[in-house]
Structure 1
Amino acid sequence: MRCVHSMPFGAEITSDGVRFALWAPTARDVRLVLDGAEFPLDADKDGWYRLVSKEARAGSRYGYRIDGDLVVPDPTSRFQPDDVHGLSLVVDPRSYTWSDTSWTGRPWEEAVLYEVHVGTASLEGTYAGLSDRLEFLRDLGITAIELMPIGEFPGRRNWGYDGVLPFAPDAAYGSPDDLKRLVERAHELGLMVFLDVVYNHFGPSGNYLHAYAKSFFTERHPTPWGAGINVDGEGSRIVRDFFFHNALYWLEEYRIDGLRFDAVHAITDDGNPHFIEELATRIRQHIKNRHVHLVLENEANQARWLGREADRRASLHTAQWADDIHNSWHALLTGENEGYYEDYANRPLEHLARALAEGFAYQGDPSPHKDGVTRGEPSGHLPPSAFIAFLQNHDQIGNRAFGERLSHLIPAERLALAQALFLLAPQIPLMFMGEEWAASTPFQFFVDFENEPDLAKAVRDGRRGEFKRFKAFTDPQMSQTIPDPTDRATFERSKIDWSEPENSPHREALSQTRELLAIRRREIVPLLKGDYLGSRYTVSREKTLDVVWNFSDGSLRMTANFGDGSVTTDRHPSARILWTSPNLDLSGGILPPWSAIVTKGPSA
């Protein structure tokens, strides 16, 4: 089987030769640079420049000379062997033969996501290196890997959110065929592959769109990264199609099973339908015979995008990252109250209870961190599977000054309790690489602007400046201890150590994770495949959390004591115990401090 996604732009191999197409509405002159020669291109009235070349072939290097001076890569390049400023490579996607012809994905309810950064997930830092770890993850109980962004970024190391060529899998990790082999190996093992894509901004180096397609951006919608993406003004049809094709390209040409859309709250659209709606609609209409899962990161907590059909299928987007669940857990476990944790620190247990039961803690409530601005929409009608829960992810670890994991911040016993409740809750769980064994390695912020010293200095100074508002870094000397993101050592420190699971205490942490995921697969997933009937929750003065989720095939209940004294609890006579804190004696119905019980019973 050969897979190709046909697009109206870029380099595409046809029976007549290689067709080149560039949208450059604000350029005066565009020429194709191909294997050392140049060819003039004519523009149509809509700003398209096209040429079919019989001289070009797979492996040809090409770019575009803009207005007689600047040579730029193809913004829809399928591969960039020489980084973001180099020429693009003509790729023939039909040259790869897929053998997993029967793979159609997995139902969403079975998802256990494992977020990975390709460059630090293995010693090799490549697609092939990650592929060698997939069997371990399968045996652990993971059912899907989620790759942080891989679109071509400047340099050899980056989180991926500085990408500027979103169709080109970054050459630092391997070739397009290497990525396809990773996906194929995952499918052989029954693992889905998700990809994090960034449609709200481009990185600071290598984005040449301003030079020939100024209307790709708009000053009407400023963002933290500069002018916004123009998805609702003149010329926006082509801009929207650029991203819609990008999503379909990954899903079709690479057989990716799901996409996570980064920070969609930063995409401003005054038109109708909204970019977010049309994006999902186009994908749903185009791909019908596979499980394709669409995930949002959306600080605005907009339940409107997460609705379900009568048969429980997602109308638009499958789920959203549940930041409220994470932030509540974090404030409860660590006591931290700065930055966005300010919204949760006053009543962390109440916020956690509401988020576990209803998805969002903020459902139109005023945010102290945002000076009282309301945030969110009612979400209690949505099933728990519309939310992805996590205790840690790349942001929540890497955006700390030193990249500390939760295992560095709280006692192991409290982390074990939180992990059990997190993995056995009915939301879809996401773990960050190494979390399963409480990895000792940090995950720090890193970039590579070695050839751009001014930009490197700006990033270094900006990183340290970000933390000046935190009490721990008001002293300028303390801010200098923050790791330099441009130093290769920062990247190397962030690589996880795969020998750790063999040794204590990591071995014991891994064993607990494996046990919890087995319980989830056996007991929780069957509930999620039935109808969701609603939830209820209470929080007592003694800091006892009690949440019940009802499904057509039974109920799930969590009771946890986060207080300083013991409390009494009841249990339905027909409820089965799925998990309890270690050495817990339930004969008297007593829950000691920082302990919990999870049961499964009939619907109530």
Structure 2
Amino acid sequence: MKRKHAMPFGAELIDGGGVRFRLWAPGVDAVGLKLDEAGELPMLTAGQGWFELSHQTAHAGSRYRFRLPDGLLVPDPVSRSNPDDVHGASEVIDPDAFEWSDDGWLGRPWEEAVIYELHIGCFTSAGDFNGVIERLDYLVELGVTAIEIMPVADFPGRANWGYDGVLLFAPDAAYGRPDDFKRLINAAHERGLMVLLDVVYNHFGPEGNYLHAYAPDFFNPRHATPWGAAINFDSENSRTVRDFFVHNVLYWLEEFHLDGLRLDAIHAICDDSSPDIIEELAEAFRSGPGRERHVHMVLENERNQARYLGRHFANETTGGPLQATAQWNDDIHHVFHVLATGESDGYYTDYAAQPTELLGRCLTEGFAYQGEPSAFANGELRGEPSAHLPPAAFINFLQNHDQIGNRAFGERLSHLASLVAMEALTSVLLLAPQPPMLFMGEEFATNQPFLFFCDFGPELANAVTEGRRREFSRFARFADPAVRESIPDPNAPETFKNCVLDWSAIERMPQRTTLELHRQLLALRRQWIMPRLSGMGNGDPQVSLLSSRALAIYWRLGDGSLLSLHANFGETAIDAPAASGTRLFATPNFDDNNLDAGQLPAWSTIWHLQ
């Protein structure tokens, strides 16, 4: 089985031999093609800023760059491979060289999603695509049905979170060849695992992005972002820019046979046009690969815009997604974190006053903020009504790369909260109707932090290091400059190395106990809950507060059964109404005296299905 996405730009192999090279460079009047085996050749103008050239002896494996009138050599912005990093030559790739064996794979319905977020470089000591393949059977045994991979688009240096990518079509060479990534995806499909990929469409990284030099129309200075001028989705020449990203979506879904993409921070995308770029990308999902198999568009969006999550049919409860499949629900993470740690700094201040009530709202209505004022945002209204949407539209998580890595020392929640708190919250995460997401190592309470790391050139590296330490200066804990100096340097090799998971820990205590709890809960989800999620609509949920730290919730599942949660997140036991039905799970701190007596111990949950 062969797979290829044909593109109107970049390097495309010609049937019968040779390669067609095409570059959009409206900011210059001439472009040369520097082809390693043929020297330098002038490209032909093709109108509207396009330059092209076909070369009969170029082939898969040829290295090439484009020379600008000022002499600057730049890589292809749609390079499929840049073996020598972002400043080096691009490589012609033959997509048909890889033989797929997953032609019967049609993906999985979203109700079956149990997501595991991972970073290719830190997930195993190998630090590459092949290393992940070695752990796929472990993930299946754990109960995962989808892996979500942090961005792999080519970034500068050997280590990066991935959100500084500049060549958005080229898997970073630090992780392997493009075919190695395809081999990982193929292997995952053979095991019934979906593969989702994070993509970044709100900015390009600060090093290695040469678009300003020859295509300034790629940016719109009318919109300001934290990274400078916004990507041009709504001004002159924006059609070509939008096509670049539409093709990026289709490239990953078609040529790499991915099951979905997670669009990073769409709240940072500036676009006043209609349809906006998110709507246009959603149409590419649905009218392209989505016609033949399950593909999923996942959003990160601080604005809580429920409009992107609508479902088919008037009541929006029984049909598939109109646009996005789901969104990371930051609200529920923040509530979980406040309950577990008591922290109220920064954005946690919005969740500190009534965390249990807000948790109930997240579990029954999706967003905690649906148009209410945010104290953290100086009273700005945040969010849109979301109670009409199904639980499947909201991805729940206790941890992710951002919420861990944006802490000064990369502490995971299990480093900050008690074991009993983690057990109670984990049961809520893994048994609630919403699709759960784990961050790599969370399932065995790894000792490794997840720090912010990168590998920029010297001048930018120093600026990033100082900038990161300056960010924390407003916190009392880091007021002393000497204390700020203890924050790990993102560019130091040991910062990255300290984040690589130690897999030997799963054979030790207490990590083994935590791992077994996750396996138990996910087995229960697979047996009792997952088959009943389809068609449940919003679940007609009912929630009641039992105390300021306890609640009871009931959901009506798709087959008419009733799922109930009784939970106490306080430090003392409370009396609670007894639940009926089959007991699915109770946290280990229950005993025979209180299991059926209507009493909830401190930090406990109990689940029933009727």
TM-score for the superposition, normalised by structure 2: 0.97
**After superposition, where does 1:106-505 map in structure 2 within 5 Å?**
106-287=108-289, 288-310=291-313, 311-449=318-456, 452-505=457-510
2:583 maps to 1:577: yes
Q: Deviation digits for residues 387-442 of structure 1, max 9, x if unmatched?
A: 00000000011111000111110111111111011111111000000001000111
Q: Deviation digits for residues 321-365 of structure 1, max 9, x if unmatched?
A: 000000010011111111111111122112111111111000001
1:550 is displaced (CA, Å) by: 1.7
Unpaired segments ≥5 residues, structure 1: none
Find the residue that maps to 1:259 and give its secondary structure.
Answer: strand
Supply the distance in 2 between the matched residues of 1:507 and 1:537 (Cα, whole angstroms).
34
Supply the distance in 2 between the matched residues of 1:8 and 1:140 (Cα, whole angstroms).
42
Paired position in structure 1 for 2:7: 7
Q: Which amino acid aligns with 1:597?
A: I
Paired position in structure 2 for 1:514: 519
Supply the distance in 2 between the matched residues of 1:21 and 1:89 (Cα, whole angstroms).
14
1:542 is displaced (CA, Å) by: 4.3
Q: Which amino acid aligns with 1:407?
A: S
Comparing 145-154 with 311-320, greater Cα deviation is found at 311-320
Supply the distance in 1 between the matched residues of 2:71 and 2:548 (Cα, whole angstroms).
71
1:68 is displaced (CA, Å) by: 4.1
2:32 maps to 1:27: no
Paired position in structure 1 for 2:62: 60
Supply the distance in 1 between the matched residues of 2:571 and 2:190 (Cα, whole angstroms).
49
1:555 is displaced (CA, Å) by: 1.9
Note closer, same or farther for the CA distance 1:63–1:471 as it changes in structure 2 (3 Å cut). Answer: same
Supply the distance in 2 between the matched residues of 1:277 and 1:512 (Cα, whole angstroms).
40
Note closer, same or farther for the CA distance 1:503–1:564 as it changes in structure 2 (3 Å cut). Answer: closer
Contact 1:534 1:549 (C-alpha < 8 Å) held by counterparts: yes
Supply the distance in 2 between the matched residues of 1:334 and 1:434 (Cα, whole angstroms).
20
Note closer, same or farther for the CA distance 1:552–1:115 as it changes in structure 2 (3 Å cut). Answer: closer
Q: Deviation digits for residues 67-118 of structure 1, max 9, x if unmatched?
A: 1410000000000000000000000001111111111111111111000100
Q: Deviation digits for residues 204-247 of structure 1, max 9, x if unmatched?
A: 10000000000100111111111101001011111011011001
Q: Which amino acid aligns with 2:578?
A: R
Paired position in structure 2 for 1:588: 597
Q: Which amino acid aligns with 1:486?
A: N
Supply the distance in 1 between the matched residues of 2:388 and 2:217 (Cα, whole angstroms).
40
Contact 2:534 2:558 (C-alpha < 8 Å) held by counterparts: no
Supply the distance in 2 between the matched residues of 1:470 and 1:200 (Cα, whole angstroms).
28
Supply the distance in 2 between the matched residues of 1:484 and 1:119 (Cα, whole angstroms).
18
Count of aligned positions: 598
Contact 2:365 2:386 (C-alpha < 8 Å) held by counterparts: yes
1:249 is displaced (CA, Å) by: 0.3
1:566 is displaced (CA, Å) by: 2.5
Q: Which amino acid aligns with 1:30?
A: V
Q: Which amino acid aligns with 1:112?
A: V
Contact 2:249 2:284 (C-alpha < 8 Å) held by counterparts: no
Q: Which amino acid aligns with 2:599?
A: I
Find the residue that maps to 1:324 and give its secondary structure.
Answer: helix
1:537 is displaced (CA, Å) by: 1.5
Contact 1:344 1:351 (C-alpha < 8 Å) held by counterparts: yes
Supply the distance in 2 between the matched residues of 1:522 and 1:301 (Cα, whole angstroms).
32
Q: Which of 590, 603, 606 does residue 597 from structure 1 map onto?
A: 606
2:87 maps to 1:85: yes
Q: Which of 526, 535, 538 does residue 531 from structure 2 map onto?
A: 526
Find the residue that maps to 2:217 and give its secondary structure.
Answer: helix
Q: Deviation digits for residues 279-329 of structure 1, max 9, x if unmatched?
A: 101221111111101100000000001111145211111000000000010
Q: Which amino acid aligns with 1:557?
A: S
1:567 is displaced (CA, Å) by: 2.0
Contact 1:331 1:341 (C-alpha < 8 Å) held by counterparts: yes
TM-score for the superposition, normalised by structure 1: 0.98
Find the residue that maps to 2:483 and give its secondary structure.
Answer: helix
Comparing 564-573 with 343-352, greater Cα deviation is found at 564-573
Supply the distance in 1 between the matched residues of 2:474 and 2:330 (Cα, whole angstroms).
22
Find the residue that maps to 2:319 and give its secondary structure.
Answer: coil
Q: Which amino acid aligns with 2:402?
A: D
Find the residue that maps to 1:187 and give its secondary structure.
Answer: helix
Q: Deviation digits for residues 508-555 of structure 1, max 9, x if unmatched?
A: 110000000000011111221133242121224442112222224212
Find the residue that maps to 1:459 and give its secondary structure.
Answer: helix
Identity %, equivalent residues = 55
Find the residue that maps to 1:370 and give its secondary structure.
Answer: coil
Comparing 269-278 with 563-572, greater Cα deviation is found at 563-572
Contact 1:281 1:316 (C-alpha < 8 Å) held by counterparts: yes
Find the residue that maps to 2:64 and give its secondary structure.
Answer: strand
Paired position in structure 1 for 2:98: 96
Contact 1:100 1:187 (C-alpha < 8 Å) held by counterparts: yes
Paired position in structure 2 for 1:537: 543
Paired position in structure 2 for 1:546: 552
Find the residue that maps to 1:369 and give its secondary structure.
Answer: coil
Q: Deviation digits for residues 426-474 of structure 1, max 9, x if unmatched?
A: 110000000010001111111012xx21101000001111111112111
Supply the distance in 2 between the matched residues of 1:502 and 1:40 (Cα, whole angstroms).
61
Unpaired segments ≥5 residues, structure 2: none
Contact 1:381 1:534 (C-alpha < 8 Å) held by counterparts: no
Root mean square deviation, CA, Å: 1.1
Contact 1:568 1:590 (C-alpha < 8 Å) held by counterparts: yes
1:572 is displaced (CA, Å) by: 4.5
Q: Which amino acid aligns with 1:294?
A: M
